[in-house]
Amino acid sequence: MTSPLVAQAAEIHRGGGNGNAVPERVDVYQPYEVDQILLPDFAQCLAVKTFLHMCGIQFTKKLRPNAEQMSPSGGLPFIKCGPQIVSEFDSIVEFIGIKGLSLSEDLSGPQKSELKAYMALTINRLKLAELYVTWQDKHSSEAITKPRYGSPYPWPLQHLLPWMKQREMKRYLKVQEWSDKTVEQVHAEVNLCCKALSDKLGEQYYFFLDRPTELDALVYGHLNSLLKTKFTSVQLAEDVQRYPNLVRFCERITERYFTEGGER
Domains of the chain, by residue range, sit at 4-98, 109-257
pLDDT above 70: residue 8: no
pTM above 0.75, yes or no: yes
With 0-12 / 13-18 / 19 or more C-beta atoms within 10 angstroms meaning exposed / middle / buried, residue 21 is: exposed
Give 60's strand partners.
27
Q: Class of the 4-98 domain?
A: alpha beta
Q: What is the pLDDT of residues 65-113, one digit of tens each?
A: 999 999 999 999 999 999 999 999 999 999 999 999 999 999 999 999 9
CATH domain 109-257 topology: Glutathione S-transferase Yfyf (Class Pi); Chain A, domain 2 (1.20.1050)
Please state, in angstroms and rounded to a whole number, the distance separating the CA atoms of residues 184 and 186: 5
Which SS3 state, helix, strand or coil, does residue 58 take?
A: strand
**Is residue 140 left, alpha or beta, with left meaning phi > 0 and alpha meaning psi from -120 to 50?**
alpha
Angle (CA) 30 54 47, round 5°: 35
Amino acid at site 250? C
Q: Which helix (H) or strand (E) holds 79?
A: strand 78-81
3-state secondary structure of 90: helix
**Is the per-residue pLDDT at 243 higher than 50?**
yes
